Structure 1
Amino acid sequence: MPPFLPSRRRFVQLAAALAAVPGAPIASHAATANVGGKGKPVSGTALRWLDGQAPARFEGATLGVPWPRGTLRLPANKDLRFTLGAGGPALQSWPLAYWPDGSLKWTAHAVAGGATASGWNLEPGGGTVKAGVSVRQSAEALTVSAGELTWTVPTSGEYLVERATRAGRVTMQHLRLVALRQDGPEPEDAGSVRRELFTSKVTRVTLEQEGPVRAVVKLDGVHAARAGAGRDWLPFSVRLYFYAGSDSVRIVHSFIYDGDPARDFIAGLGVTARVAMPDATHDRHVRFAGEGVGVWGEAVRPVTGLRRDPGQEYKDAQVAGQALPPLAGMAKPVQDGLRWIPEWGDFTLAQPTPDGFALRKRTRSGHAWIDANAGTRTRGLVYAGGATGGVALGFKDFWQRTPSQLDVRKAASDMADVTAWMWSPSSPAMDMRSYRSADGMDTFEEQIAGLNITYEDYEPGWDASPGVARTTELQLWVLGATPSHQDFSDMAEQVANPARLVLEPARIHACGVLGDWDVSDRSTPARKLIEDHLAFRLDQYLREVEQHRWYGFWSYGDVMHAYDNDRHMWRYDIGGYAWDNSELSTDLWLWYSYLRTGRADIFKFAEAMTRHTGEVDVYHAGPFKGFGTRHGVQHWSDSSKQPRVSNAAYRRIYYFLTADERTGDLMRELLDSDADLHKVDIGRKLRPGSRPGALPSAGRSANAPALVDASFGTVWGSLVAAWLAEWERTGEPRWRDKIVNGMRTIGALERRWFAAAAPYDPKTGKFSGPGDQARISQLNGVFGVVEMSSELLTLVDEPGYRKAWLEYCRYYNATSEELVALLGSAPRGRAQPDSHSRLSAYAAHHERDRALALRAWRELFASNFMKSHAAARKVGGVAVLRELHELPNIGTNGSAQWSLAAIQNMALVGDSLDEAARAAGLVGP
């Protein structure tokens, strides 16, 4: 069946939206629609700033750009060139993904730092790019040169960067990782704990890109005991990004927790560097980012506030961070008394909570700290150096991922230490133990009883934290002078909110990528009604993050699962109702919302979620590697480990929009995770017969031990996303073949998709068995398989699977009588008819069935979600910790799935929305 193009009315609406994008012709949308059809070339691509305006400072950035099928191919010499036009910054480009015909689907583009404008237009072509970054390799080190800066990256050893020189002067040395291990938790009464220092040990260095605009070096290793021989632990992966036109290196730091939670407590986790301090101590300076755009800046030896006045020019120079004028002109009493002014060597800014930080300093080790200042939230940047240069270091989401800390030590000596602590050593140690004991749940039956009351799947040993990971984005500058307060504030903004270039939603949509969605459109009363409710839900969740302080090192980026109206709290302490862990595709909801609207706040919300769910909610080592954890009180506490959580569909959109290498790594980790399906019993507490509609999700097949029983949606549909991403990225046919094997064998079963699950062979990707039993599970269609099927059916021609999927889409929400006529029975297990309305819409669109399209809208409108605006209320006084803007009965499952259904319905059957809304009485005639 050929792809079904949108109605004329929807085409006119979308063409009008596309016409607003400079350089993107309307014709390209007509050819591509949103189904991946072959398109005509776009003549240009407008890049804009995510936040709507040019930043004060730009350190370089990378973005992904889609292209219609068949319109752009990699040159025979593999040299992919684009330009941002005359006067635009230098650009480095490379392939990111391919269409099945070999044409380019996504390209990646690194933009040099320095220059800013309101935006640029990206066009294919251009001459040779002048080298701004270059790399020289030897057996001992990689030497990266960028303007005045030269960075030496050893190929092994303790240091990530051995030294960095600016204009030939060694300004920074010995960039390395540090970790403090504590052998127990904080003593609750009497007692003591012991701490041990570990530092990075690099075992492998990979040059991934070598310029001319961007160089990328990946370092892998472990943390090794600093004091003599000892254990190695906490595996890490660090990428160093060097951009032309930038004075900084971007550092993407990832580590895996692989300790024993009962005795391996992380008391500190950081990145540290040594800074040369040759200037006189009165010309040495320390800066910290403060609240908002604020800056705290002081000298190591101050000359302001003294009993004797040195002269205004001296005070002004020191406050500005400049070298003092010749001392011979200073007031004689101060000149003679300089040596008696204390030198302040150590400075600390600690942010133990998202609501407060404290700044302290002392003269040196062994002496008391004094309080300098305090505040609420800082953007997380510190500088130490002098008039001849220094180093600034900080990291993104500083106050959101507390406890965090920034240190300067020994600033009065020849070499100062600057450290960014991702886990603050002045806070209680990181506790990775389970929050609970078995509490009598020793048998399967007792565990079932526990599940029935708290919604938590518990089994001893299956609530383990070892194997989870976390990624942090840092920025380090090597500067030729102390930055002014304004420059330092601009740098802090780049740390907290990196400048990002993006595309307009219409330009992305014109290429037919990423499934069924359209550009946000309020042109009719009915569309406005739906769009307003979509925005209302998104705004409420953005509000909830702040209202309920969904922050912290391990938690920032996640949201909660369900609300407790009586306590006016999310059910943070009730089993499976607590952290969401991607349940029912929250990640996809946010990313499709961004694609449609281009809203910066939604992008940042989705980005934080992708960073969290891909790292913390998934195991990267150990017996559960490749699987994620079902929703729970701790991100790893539920005993159900499933591919539906590690699902690459939740990372894929972010990867293609940003070309983020770490996210690419995470998707590749999952390619062979189906080989381990026999290790986990996904449905241990929900075995066949334990409740209506339960499915054997995974586990050894009794009839064929080499096979596993796998559901089509929660298992296979989750695995498909990783294979699709890899096929797109590499063009390797083995991943396409594995996908097709699954599609083809599902379509060959007697009950096709209504078989719901079947014995699966991880080696081939094929299902087997008669598939003659009709079963339904509401969960099969809510973990990304809808989105994956929509894309796959535009990329491969599998008539059997197309028939099976369209049949499932048409009949999932059909009447019991219609199901009986089709299957001979009406199996239990159907639920969420509103979120499954998008299945009806999919069948209606592809089979051109307007009556079915109107049914899809009725299914969506039947939900109470359309009435939820009226329930929103403010709750204050003694009933709550702080005043809340509350939406009673809010739940993330319903919010995500209803929104995804509304988004897909508008894209597929939007031309029937007005008629359906009038019939339902939602809008006037």
Structure 2
Amino acid sequence: MKREDQLALREAAGEEGTASNGAPLPMQSWPLAYWPDGSVKWTAHAAVFTPGQTAQAYRVVRSAEQPAEVTSSGVTVTDSTAEVVVDTGAIRCILPRSGPSIIREVIRSEEGMKVCCGGKLTGIREVRIQEPDGRTVREEQMVSEVEALQIEQQGPLRAVIRVNGRHVTASGRKWLPFTLRLYFYAGLEQIRIVHSFVYDGNPHQDFIRAVGLEFDVPMRGPSYNRHVRFAGEAGWFAESPKGLMMFRLNPPYDELYREQTAGRLIELTPDRDANFLKLMDDAATWNDYKLSQLTPDSYTMKKRTGEGCSWIKASSGSRARGLVYAGGEGGGLAAGLRYFWQKAPSALEVTDAAGSEANITVWLWSRDAEPMDLRHYDTETHVASAYEGAEEMRSTPYGIANTNECTLWCLAGTPDSQELDRMADLLESPPLLVCKPEHYHASGSLGVWSLPDRSTPVKAHLEDTLAGLYSFYEDEVERRGWYGFWDYGDVMHSYDSVRHTWRYDIGGCAWQNTELAPNMWLWYMFLRTGRKDIFRFAEAMTRHTSEVDVYHIGEYAGLGSRHNVLHWGCGCKEARIAMAGLHRYYFYLTADERISDRMDAVRDADYATVGLDPMRAYYPKDQFPTHTRSGPDWSAFCSNWLVQWERYEDTAYRDKMLRGIACLKQMPDRLLTGPVFGYDPKTGELQHMGDENWGHHLMICMGGAQIWMEMAELLNDPEWCDMAAEYGAFYTLPPERKAELTDGRIQGVDWNIPMLATSMMAYAAARRDDRQLAGEAWELLLRGGDHWFIAGPPEPLEVPAREYMKRMAGVPGISTNTVSQWSINVIVCLELIGRWLDNGQE
């Protein structure tokens, strides 16, 4: 679309989603990326719907009309030197520019009632000091300190405020830098919060005992008209600090008790209810409540009368939904933590419910759990025995991060169970407008991938296999319990058929950490199917891999850690793990500002390789600033630069891609040369260092093939297209033919795992109209004959009794490397050479 085009949001009608003739709905739009010719490639849109409207289909269309006007209840943002005030029409929120509070207060506009104040970050740092006669453990409380506040967007339908700061301990130490974004929408009483923090401590001394967000809630009225609510797995814990249930409960108070439990206002008068009020004065007042989800499969609900008294167990269950409410007469606050049980240990807590102000704390890491232990799993590396990447011990959590999503509802009264259920559903699965797969495909805006095709038996078999592989991993997350604060979103690398488990304790065979691009596999699966479950899986992986697997500060900033027992455990710190191309799918589908930060942060990751040469173990320091492989290093740099170019039209990053391509054009055998080169990040120049100086399969299995093909479409450079096609046609040639074509420079050494080259082969076959090469690619995918080949949908086998701790099913020999790359290559090949799949049928 052109930059000047007007867009309108209309309700769609009919099965094909044709636009109705109704008036356009209010919508806020902004561009996210541009095509090389300057036209708009991706746009983002915000709209506010009533509950009844969310079941409808909508279309964003070009319109000659002016956009629909936002009513007077639009979001307004008022800025001053001391604070920022956001008014949605339903609530008025005051955000101070300094101090410990993120939210000073929230007032409901209609009633003028304050429902929240003193919103801040909280936590506990545990310090362990080893002494001659034992170990001393000291706990320090910590609280947020705001350092900067930025208005990123200010309406009319959506406002975004970014807050940056650090946690400050009781001793004055400033650490754990955080970024908090608060999202406001016109006419809504809710605030969405995206909370990120970076670990910058010493894992041998600085143990995080707890970290969370807390909010003070004014409590009005007598204790029996105050209410707390906690979501269980299905229903609700519903009580008041002063319940009407006592040893004797006679009519009409039994009916009032039901009314109270339902959250309705109870009226008791001294004249009419004197005896009952006397009994109530004698009854215990329950001041504090907490729900602790210490494992993904178990929570406990407890309460107590006050500090210094024991907690008593009220209930327990499996998986709580992560929502709490506290309030009295005139309203209250509900707070929810997304992925509450999936990222255990988490907790929700209400304290001082009978006082003038209650406190709600959303614990991202529960203080009832063991402290975070981010130390390495051993004191040495295990390169030979455990497939770890480097002899150097570079396992450090310094610079890794974690992001969590919280939602607040500022309510006029205690919500009923139906409304609470709606809030819990919204928390866990927020609505998102998405397009049909056909639209994404036709746009060509996310590279080369295919729509599902079951037109022939072979294609139907491939579709069944792709679907079966995804379903297996979705089920495996549950079977294996791949949950937890630092783990949720990742999957494991390879399977142990003897122990009937994944190799969780075998160095490089444990957590995947983006190895062989599982992110791309999942996003391709979503784009081609539009399935919500696949989107949520890919979303969780994107959130995890962009935060935990990469470094945000410190000497490794811009790089990520290769796969390991711990996500940060491997000594190999590489650009390809953190590259923007893994995360851009999620950004363009959601406009998520945190992912935007992460993609911007890696734009100059090539400079980090000067301090940590990716080839340091194989090439001594020489005349080059550093070394880089054309893939996966330079291809990862290109991924970062491509995103900068398309998002900001920054031609400096486009030119850096072109400079590298120009260098490759001058090599003896163009893209076939290397793949190791001398590299200068200041100029972007690749310097020749020889031929066949490293394995070639790594060039194309970490997303390099997909990046290069997209560059070919965008850079308008026919020679680069020829170079990519030449690589695809060359990869599987016999060694003697390789030598013949290169005058003996390339002898066919280390052109391994041909299945990984099938996308590049397909690109070459499509460009050259080479049916024979296409047939060879399909042969590798359909009848490869080794462990890089997948014959059909996985069929988990029941593990014999007593050979595993619980009933279990597994797939012997399965590898996420194989699944990711086979699936990606099949999806690409169906697009490029699908016409040659069935017995030469065109």
Using structure 2 for the length normalisation, give the TM-score.
Answer: 0.94
Cα deviation for residue 190 of structure 1 reads 7.7
Q: Is the 8 A contact 1:311 1:331 kept in 2?
A: no
1:551 positional shift:
0.7
**Residue in 2 that maps onto 1:391:** 333
Deviation of 1:182 (Å): 0.2
Tell me the equivalent position of 1:838: 759
Q: Is the 8 A contact 1:82 1:93 kept in 2?
A: no
1:681 aligns with 2:605: no
- Contact in 2 for aligned 1:287/1:296 (Cα 8 Å): yes
Give the Cα separation in 2 of the matches to 1:128 and 1:435.
58
1:560 & 1:101 partners in 2: Cα distance? Answer: 42
The structure 1 segments of at least 4 consecutive aligned residues displaced by more than 6 Å after TM superposition are none
Contact 2:199 2:399 in 1 (8 A): yes
Residue identity opposite 2:810 in structure 1: E
1:529 aligns with 2:461: yes
**SS of structure 2 residue aligned to 1:193:** strand
Report the counterpart of residue 582 of structure 2 in structure 1. Answer: 650
**512, 517, 540: which one pairs with 2:472?**
540
| 2:670 counterpart residue number | 752
Residue deviations 1:633-664 (CA, integer Å, cap 9, x gap): 10111111001111111111111111111001
The correspondence of residues 397-416 of structure 1 with structure 2, limited to 5 A, is: 397-416=339-358
Residue 47 of structure 2 is aligned to residue 111 of structure 1: yes
Task: Note the C-alpha offset of 1:841.
Answer: 0.8
Deviation at 1:312, TM superposition (A): 4.3
Give the 3 Å change call, closer, same or farther, for CA 282–786 of structure 1 in structure 2. same
Indicate yes or no: 2:199 matched with 1:199: no
Structure 2 CA distance for partners of 1:916 and 1:328, relative to 1, 3 Å = farther
Bigger shift: residues 195-204 or 487-496: 487-496
Instruction: Indicate conservation of the 8 Å contact 1:178/1:272, yes or no.
Output: yes
Residue 42 of structure 1 corresponds to which residue in structure 2?
A: none
User: Which residue of 609, 633, 638 maps to 1:715?
Assistant: 633
Matched letter for residue 877 of structure 1: A
Q: 1:384 and 1:243 mapped to 2: Cα distance?
A: 23
Q: 1:330 to 1:369 in 2, by over 3 A?
A: farther
What residue is the counterpart of 1:38 in the other structure? none
Deviation at 1:485, TM superposition (A): 1.1
Range moving further from structure 2, 880-889 or 200-209: 880-889
CA contact (8 A) 2:615 2:628 kept: no
Shift of 1:246: 2.1
Amino acid at match of 2:658: V
Partners of 2:657 and 2:346 in 1: how far apart?
Answer: 44
Aligned partner of residue 834 in structure 1, secondary structure: helix
1:49-60 to 2 correspondences below 5 Å: none
Residue 789 of structure 1 pairs with residue 708 of structure 2 = yes
Structure-to-structure mapping, 1:449-598, within 5 angstroms: 450-459=382-391, 461-598=393-530
Matched, 1:303 2:229: no
Q: 1:21 corresponds to which residue? A: none
Q: 1:338 aligns with which of 280, 288, 302?
A: 280
Specify the alignment match of 1:731 in structure 2. Answer: 649
> Of 902, 905, 915, which residue of structure 1 is paired with 2:829?
905
Distance 1:330 1:570, change over 3 A: farther
Equivalent-residue separation in structure 2 for 1:412 and 1:529 (angstroms) = 63
Cα separation, partners in 2 of 1:679 and 1:863, compared to 1, 3 Å: same
Cα distance between partner residues in 1 of 2:310 and 2:25: 50
Which of the numbers 216, 219, 222 marks the counterpart of 2:160?
216
Residues 87 and 572 (structure 1), Cα distance of their counterparts in 2 relative to 1, 3 Å cut: farther
- Take 1:278 and 1:346, find their aligned partners in 2: how far apart are those partners? 17
* 1:237-252 to 2 correspondences below 5 Å: 237-252=179-194
Cα shift readout 1:177-203 (whole Å, capped 9, x = no counterpart): 01210012999x986521101111111
The match for 2:697 is 778
1:894 matched to which residue of 2? 818
State the alpha-carbon separation in 1 of the partners of residues 106 and 296 from structure 2.
Answer: 33
Distance 1:841-1:426 versus aligned 2 partners, 3 A rule: same
The superposition leaves residues 363-394 of structure 1 with CA deviations (integer Å, 9 ceiling, x where unpaired) of 11111111000000011011110231001112
Match of 1:817 in 2: 736
Matched with 1:322 is 264
Aligned counterpart in structure 2 of residue 181 of structure 1, from 92, 116, 125: 125
Q: 1:545 to 1:772 in 2, by over 3 A?
A: closer
Cα distance in 2 between the residues matched to 1:306 and 1:836: 76
Asked whether 1:875 is paired with 2:811, we answer no
State the identity as a percent.
39
Q: Aligned residue for 1:44?
A: none
* Contact kept in structure 1, 2:144 and 2:168, CA below 8 Å: yes
Find the residue that maps to 1:494 and give its secondary structure: helix
- CA deviations 1:222-258 (Å, max 9, x no partner) are 0012x3x521000000100001232111000010000
SS at match of 1:581: coil
Aligned residues: 816
Question: Contact 1:346–1:411 at 8 Å: present in 2 too?
Answer: yes
Letter paired with 1:830: W
Q: Which amino acid aligns with 1:519?
A: L
Aligned residue among 60, 65, 90 for 2:26: 90
- TM normalised by structure 1 equals 0.85
Q: Cα 1:312–1:643, aligned 2, differ >3 Å: closer, same or farther?
A: same
Residue 14 of structure 1: aligned partner: none
Say which of 265, 278, 284 aligns to 2:220. Answer: 278
Aligned-partner Cα distance in 2 for 1:190–1:288: 41
SS state of the match for residue 438, structure 2? helix
Structure 2 counterpart of 1:856, one-letter code? A
Q: Do the aligned residues in 1 keep the contact of 2:219 with 2:358 (CA within 8 Å)?
A: yes
Q: Distance in 1 between matches of 2:693 and 2:302?
A: 67
AA partner of residue 914 (structure 1)? D
Q: 1-side partners of 2:694 and 2:487: how far apart? A: 36
CA deviation after TM superposition for structure 1 residue 769, in Å: 3.0
Would the aligned equivalents of 2:469 and 2:794 in 1 still touch at CA under 8 Å? no
Partner of 1:768: 687
Call closer, same or farther: CA 1:523–1:304 in 2, change over 3 Å. farther
**Equivalent residues of 2:208, 2:371 under 8 A apart:** yes
1:461 Cα deviation from its structure 2 partner = 4.5
Q: C-alpha separation between the residues in 2 aligned to 1:881 and 1:562?
A: 19
> In the alignment, is the contact (CA less than 8 A) between 1:179 and 1:197 conserved in 2?
yes
CA distance in 2, matches of 1:402, 1:845: 48
Determine helix, strand or coil for the equivalent of 1:501.
Answer: coil
Distance 1:395 1:916, change over 3 A: farther
Distance of 2:538 and 2:751 partners within structure 1: 30
Secondary structure, aligned partner of 2:756: coil
1:97-124 alpha-carbon deviations (Å, 9 max, x no partner): 0001110000000121434232212223
Q: Which moved more, 1:860-869 or 1:634-643?
A: 860-869
1:376 to 303, 318, 326: 318
Task: Tell me the secondary structure at the aligned position of residue 209 of structure 2.
Answer: strand
In structure 1, what residue type is equivalent to 2:648?
A: T
User: 1:813·1:837 contact (CA, 8 Å) conserved in 2?
Assistant: no
* CA shift in 2, pair 1:88/1:338, >3 Å: farther
Moved more, 305-314 or 833-842: 305-314
3-state DSSP class of the match of 2:410?
strand
Query: Which is further off, 676-685 or 271-280?
Result: 676-685
Indicate whether 1:149 and 2:59 are aligned: no
The letter of the residue matching 1:490 is R
Residues 303 and 311 in structure 2, CA contact (< 8 A), matched pair in contact too: yes
111-120 or 786-795: bigger deviation: 111-120
Secondary structure of 1:121 counterpart: strand
Moved more, 203-212 or 487-496: 487-496
Given the alignment of the two structures, is residue 124 of structure 1 paired with residue 65 of structure 2, yes or no?
no
Q: Which moved further from structure 2: 831-840 or 457-466?
A: 457-466
SS at match of 1:867: coil
Residue 662, structure 1, aligned to residue 594, structure 2 = yes
Letter aligned with residue 108 of structure 2: R
Matched residues in 1 for 2:821 and 2:130: separation?
42
Work out whether residues 246 and 283 of structure 2, in 8 Å CA contact, stay in contact via their aligned partners in 1.
no
Q: Is the 8 A contact 1:179 1:269 kept in 2?
A: yes
